[in-house]
Structure 1
Amino acid sequence: MYTILLVDDEKSVLNTLTSSIQWQQFGVEKILTATDGIQALNIMQKNHTDLLITDIRMPNMDGLELLTKVRKLYPATHCILLTAYSEFEYARQAIKLGVENYLLKPFQKNEMEETIEKSLNNIYAMRNNTDTLFLNNILLRWLNGSISNEELSERAIILNINLYFSKYCVICLKKKKEQSHLWHYCTAVAQSLSSGYDVHLLWDEKNHYAFIIGCNELRTGKLIDTFLQTAKDFHTESLFFLSIGKTVNNCNELQLSYQDACGKLNAAELSGFNDIVVNSDLMPLEDTYILQDLLKAFNLQEAELRSIAFEDIISGLLATPYMNYNRIFSQLSLNIFHLFTQEFPMELNIRNQLTNRIQTVPKLIDKESFQICAKEALEYSFLLFQLAFNQFSPIIQHVINYIQKHYSESLSIKEFCEKNKMSTPYLGYLFKKETGFFFNNYLTQYRICCAVQLLKESEIKVNELARKVGFSSTSYFIACFRKQTGLSPNKYRALQEGWAINTNSIERNNDD
């Protein structure tokens, strides 16, 4: 559990921070407050502080002077800066002092909560490299699509990120063996590419090395040649595989390239791919998002009902216009793998078991062999799902079951704890420790999965859809939907309708 210190000379700001942020969901046990830097240092002398959130302009000792002293006295304390002054000089000084982010007043609640979440994630993962932490946080949010265009533009100026190229793409590299050391190789590649491209390299949350490439003329063959030649120089040809995400024409669409690159790597891992460069032919022609179907099926305890659900999933896949059983099975495997990554991010061994089993599936030449292998894969995945779920403590199992039953209602960790007479900070800490997610993140992720299902099954309007899955704000729902799927709800629906039209067209042609 964590201790937070809030420092601001305006008591109204302190009151807003303490009352509006859902601190308990992050596992925060203690919130301390101070009105200037001197008082803050006195408090920190008596209390271990995990995260400091401070204003700049304050009497007696301002925020920058406070940060300077905190860096010397308490180097492990993570820091966020608040300021009403959008002057970049403050931000530059703050970055040198190791802040993870800075926010302009009046801050947005969602932005503040995301920033706090990132900071506590960094504390949890013991990432103490403050020289690059701020840059990595911004780059990671850019990849995930969780940063607004306005904030990205503002941070880009400070961090020397060029957002005005006509082409962008993401290249992801994944180690074949966990013990491989590739950072020196990756930095050498980035240095080689920097003569012709704008390059940013980071380690993402999916255990990939991610290269963000910006330029006005993109030649993927030239990029691949650089990676391959450098791999020969470093003798790392057998240690990894890489994929190039699709090229996008706008910096605000970078998330689509990143998702494409990650999807190709997942397909390569599941298929037992051995070459360095992942071929796009491994990917299905269209994306079939069936996570909610799988989750519902895996939560059915009656074998007969579960078997029917599996048959429905298989029938749905066979209705797709791929006309290639290996590609359909690859799509099923990807969705199963994504579900395990989503639900059990901490269970690497179980995901490895799943991968090893799927890799044993032979080439599928007809409908019957596909149905047999798909049913076996679903049944085996169900057993692993149950195994992973049963490793959670009874408390966390109860929380997850409660979320899945009551996600459409107004739900918070505080309300849950009041109903069940539990400590909110402790549950927030335990939920994060066991599942790898904060309570609110898991709830949001589950709600989006349910929204995807409703989009596939009905013509419901977006604002009604948002309310139906538990969001009080339509705009926030759209932002969360885009962050998880890479598309807006309307665009996702349009793609699904286009897919259905293509399917019907194929069926008519077959009938002819």
Structure 2
Amino acid sequence: MSENNLLFTAIIVDDEPSLLNGLKDSINWAQFHIDVIALASNGKDALKLIIENEPDIAIIDIRMPQMSGLEVIQAAKDAQMTTDFIILSGYDDFSYAKSAIRLGAKAYLLKPLNTDEFYNELFRICSKRIRSREADGSKGKLVYSESQNITFLRNIIDGKVLESGSIHQILLASGLKLADSFCYVLALSYESDLPQSKLDKTIYELNSHFRFERQKFWKYDDHKIIAIFNTSNTTPLQSAMKCLNLITEKDLPMPRIGVGDTVSGLSECSYSYNRALMALTYELYDRDCRIFTYEIICTVPPKITLSDIDYLPLVQAIVKKDLDGIESYCDQFVEKLLYVPMPPPNYVFSLCYAFFHLVENELSSFTKRELPRTADANELYQFRQLSLIRQWMVKSFTELSNYIDSVYGYSKILPAVFSRDDVVENTDDKIIKTAICYISQNIHQQLKVQDIAKQVHLSPSYFAIYFKNKTNVNFRTYLLWKKMEYARLRLMDPDSAINDIAYELGYGDSRSFSRAFKNINGISPSAFQEREGNKAKR
């Protein structure tokens, strides 16, 4: 590029020689029509160069010998210099950034340098100076390269909000057909990484097909293509359908397409993009569907939390190697997650993940040691079908059950878990006495560890540890034992309804209660009630 095409001048100031020379040599200054006219390694020399040359731009460090970067900016301002300053510093200190902006610095960037951010700031400064020159009748125009266009679009959907004036200037220089007006995002997602040739072919065909629309398709990563469309007579759903039709016609790899909300401008595209990605997660419920619009996203708050789940029947099934019981429990667990036909997939994933670790921790407390990892709960997030999540849970809990059975055996794990022999209830410890008294008086309520811990002014986690140390029994096991004791007393009355007892003890349904009762007492509640009733008749 000839000197006549270099519209701006710049100086670089840093006390690190490697960074100083590296910045000069590694940045493509010519594409911004910038001529780097000088380098300086201290603040005093920098100020001299600024006053003598009046550069358009100065890239300057904060801490330097003789004068700091902030002192240089202040001195240049006092000398009525119009230089635009970009601070490049290794200090992530808000006070520095605040002072720099107050003095008029255009940007505060951290080392190591993010080239995309640096290019954006250069373009913003140069665009503003071009507008100023145009107002004075001067000529000059910046041209954005395709790589800069992609960086600009990525910044838009990643939520790096730009000023509307900057967006307008970049659009003028970029050659993009987009307008800063109502728009929406399409996210084309592939199950695996695509070869670069396939991605390029797909993007070329899509951009060509929609050439009369205000739009842009580009590669986001190896398994995702993103598009921004300005609104037109074609609806977002119709645009997505046209994409699939074209891809089918050209025999290209078939994606799933997420359709985001329509937003009022490009600066809000990150919302539309994230909604498109969220819509895509709903393939969990329909693998045959290829298009997922934002309308599918569930807005009903979840009704079940981790603390609402009675996991002890599953723990008992694992310990006793009751494989049918494990499978039945997992079926019921997944069914409970569906409080609506399609709850938020992130809710399903996160609750399954937390539940798996909860059961692992409970089994560790039984064995009194940390169990080896038989399954990795992170594997859950790779599944795209609800049935596969259920299969993974059954498989993982079965493997855990097989391990416990082969290494410990049921009798070794629970030698007296449901027996009073090892339970220390007669204690002078005030905390334990208060807790046991509260449990006895409120056992017919839906008790949780948080309720008892609150009575003794301890955190739930610390209380559980304290209780175990003082009574020789796990708190949840003790609570279950007391619940079954209460249930036996209630069942002595032939008029007591099993459903009512189950509800009083905090079980969601009578089946869960019946399994727990039979595991502890070796007999179902109905059989126990019938047996005791027959005794009374005799």
TM-score relative to the length of structure 1: 0.39
Give the structure with higher Rg (CA).
2
Q: Which structure is richer in relative contact order (CA contacts within 8 A, separation 6 or more)?
A: 1
TM-score relative to the length of structure 2: 0.37
